[in-house]
Amino acid sequence: MASIILLAIIVAVVVALLGSVLIQSITPINNLILSPLEKKCQEIANEGYRIHTLYPASNPDELLENDMKRLLYLDDLWMKECVSVLPSESIMSIVNNVERDFSYGE
């Protein structure tokens, strides 16, 4: 009798573990829940990346004045509100998830 109960417990644990693995493999990684600060930092990183892609091989002195001011503002905002506050794992996640698919007409 005890062996049947033990077998049932083992089967239940195995089914729970397999179900957990299946759910984690189905759930996309990009749907991670971000805090409001992380969302703001993601937007800052996306906008900065857009400006950088407009001038891929340029020196900062070769940027248009408005773009250079905007990029400097974003850089300052990124350092003060993101890098100095968030843990390094969050920063790396944000950097790795920068939106790279956009059109220049936006």
- 69-80 pLDDT, tens digit each: 998 899 999 999
Q: Cα angle at 28 between 10 and 99, to 5 degrees?
A: 160
- 17-71 pLDDT, tens digit each: 777 766 766 655 544 577 889 999 999 999 988 888 888 777 767 788 888 899 8
How many whole angstroms separate alpha carbon 106 and alpha carbon 93?
25
Instruction: Write the CB contacts of 38 (distance below 8 Å, at least 6 apart in sequence).
Output: 86, 90, 93, 94
DSSP 79: I
Q: What is the pLDDT of residue 106?
A: 46
- pLDDT at position 87 over 60: yes
pLDDT band at 102 (very low <50, low <70, confident <90, very high): low
Q: Return the HEC string of 92-104.
A: HHHHHCCCCCCCC
Nearest to 38 by CA among 1, 4, 5, 81: 81
Note the pTM of the prediction, 2 decimals.
0.61
Paired tokens of 95: 């950097």
Give the start-to-end residue ranges of the domains of the chain.
33-96
